[in-house]
């Protein structure tokens, strides 16, 4: 099971955090800090797995991470997950983000925190891997995106009709 998914930048600023187990607010922050501390001091040419860390590490859990430009993607998993499998899942996640945002960068994650969460929700549900197929994830996310657009369209429609009535109201007020 996946215990937590963390994204933070090279300076340790959290960009997204999702915990699948309950920790208190303070512990969550401590975990982010500790994880950053552990991960950031590792060289580029070492392996992507990390045991240790008292809070989330424990003897059962391990951290699996990838570093992309300015961002660290860290998955904390227990022993029931395959290390390399998760490593590729991170790759899928990032590629999906890239597709959805068209050349994803750190700022996209900041400004569209909710969208990132929605994409993640299509991949991982309650700590279990739900979908690993990128096109399927995108389809699901887009289905919601379409809904967003269609809502905007109806709004546009309402808006136009409102504008007329508003205009008429304004005119009546003026008169």
Partner 1 sequence: MSDVVEKTLTALPGLFESQTGAAKITNRLRQLIKSITELTSKHEEENLIKRELSAIKEQVSSPNTTMKQMREIMVRAMYCEMLGYDASFTYIHAIKLAQQGGVLEKRVGYLAVSLFLNEGHELLLLLVNTVLKDLQSTNLIEVCMALTVVAQVFPKDMIPAVLPLVEDKLSHPKEIIRRKAVLALYKFYLIAPNQVQHIHAKFCKALSDKDPGVMASSLHIYLQLIRESPDSYKDLTGSFVTILKQVLGGKLPVDFNYHSVPAPWLQIQLLRILSLLGKEDQSTSELMYEVLDESLRRAEMNHNITYAILYECVKAVYTIHPKAELLEKAARCIGNFVLSPKINLKYLGLKALTYVVQHDAKLALQHQMTIIECLDHSDFTIKRETLELLFRITNAQNVTVIVEKMLDFLRSCNDEHTIIHLIGKVAELAEKFAPDNSWFIQTMNDVFSIGGDLLQQDVPNNFLRLLAEGSESKEEDDQLRLYAVESYLTVLKGHTSHLPQCFLQVMSWVLGEYAHLQESVDRREVIRLLTQLLDQRSVSSETRVWILSALTKIPEGQTDLILDLAESLSSSQDTVLRQQAQELRHLSQDSQLREWVLPRGAPWDGIEVDSSLSFLDGFVSEALAAGAAPYKPPHQRQEELCEDRALNLEPYSFSLPVSLSSCSITDRQSPTLLSVSSGLSGNSAELSQKAGSSTLILEGVKRVWGKDGYLPQKEATAPPVDEPSAAVQPASQQEAAERIEPRPEPSTQNQDKQQLASSLFVGLGVGSSVSLLGKSEAPPPRFRKKPRPHESSSSSGTSKRSSDSSSHSSRNTTDSFLYGSFPEEEPATSISTFDHTPKSTTANGLSQNKDTKEDRHANTSQILGGDMVIVRPSTIQDKHPPSVSSDLTALLPADLKDLPHSDVISLTSDPSLSLSSCRLFRDEALLLVIFISNCTETVIKDVAVQLTCEELKTASLRGNVMDCLEARSTSVCHYALLMDDPHTNVSLTGTVSYQTQPGHTNTLPFSGTLSTADFIRPLVVTTEEYGKLWLSLSHDVKQNLKLLTDAGDPLRTTLNALKDALQLHVVDIIGSEGIVACRLLSGAPCLLHCRVNGAALAMWLRSPHPALPDFILYHCQRALAHH
CB 4 → partner 1: shortest distance, Å? 12
CB 129 → partner 1: shortest distance, Å? 6
Among 162, 164, 167, 168, indicate the residue that binds partner 1 (CB under 8 A). 162
Among 70, 105, 158, 168, indicate the residue that binds partner 1 (CB under 8 A). 158
Dihedral (Cα; 140, 145, 150, 151), 10-degree rounding: 120
Alpha-carbon separation of residue 101 from 10, 13, 15, 47, 138 (angstroms): 21, 21, 15, 29, 11
Is 135 a residue that touches partner 1 (CB under 8 A)? yes
Residues 64, 48: Cα–Cα separation, whole Å: 6
Is 164 a residue that touches partner 1 (CB under 8 A)? no
- Token reading at 106: 């750190």
Count of CA atoms in the C-beta half-sphere (13 A) of 7: 21
106 in Cβ contact with 9 (< 8 Å): yes
Q: What is the DSSP letter of 51?
A: -
Alpha-carbon separation of residue 167 from 25, 26, 156, 158, 174 (angstroms): 50, 53, 16, 14, 10
Among 10, 70, 147, 164, indicate the residue that binds partner 1 (CB under 8 A). 147
Is 151 a residue that touches partner 1 (CB under 8 A)? yes
Is 29 a residue that touches partner 1 (CB under 8 A)? yes
Binding-site string for partner 1 from residue 83 to residue 122, where x marks contact by CB under 8 A and - marks none: xxx-xxx--x-----------------xx-xx--xx--x-
By CB under 8 A, the residues from 60 to 79 that bind partner 1 are none
Query: What is the contact surface with partner 1 in residues (CB under 8 A)?
Result: 14, 16-18, 20, 22, 25-26, 28-29, 32, 38, 42-43, 45-54, 57-59, 80, 82-85, 87-89, 92, 110-111, 113-114, 117-118, 121, 125-133, 135-136, 140, 143-144, 147-148, 151-152, 155-156, 158-159, 162, 166
């Amino acid at each position: 099971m996946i215990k937590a998914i963390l994204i933070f930048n090279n300076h340790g600023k959290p960009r997204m955090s999702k915990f699948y187990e309950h920790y208190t607010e303070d512990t969550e922050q401590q975990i982010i800090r500790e994880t950053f501390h552990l991960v950031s001091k590792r060289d580029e040419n070492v392996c992507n797995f990390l045991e240790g860390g008292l809070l989330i590490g424990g003897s059962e859990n391990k951290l699996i991470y990838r570093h992309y430009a300015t961002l660290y993607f860290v998955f904390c998993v227990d022993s029931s997950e395959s290390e390399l499998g998760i490593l590729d899942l991170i790759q899928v996640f990032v590629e999906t983000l890239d597709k959805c945002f068209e050349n994803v960068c750190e700022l996209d994650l900041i400004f569209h925190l909710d969208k990132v969460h929605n994409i993640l929700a299509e991949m991982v549900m309650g700590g279990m891997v739900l979908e690993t197929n990128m096109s399927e994830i995108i389809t699901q996310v887009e289905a919601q995106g379409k809904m967003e657009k269609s809502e905007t369209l109806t709004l546009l429609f309402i808006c136009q009709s409102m504008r007329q009535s508003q205009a008429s109201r304004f005119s009546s007020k003026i008169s």
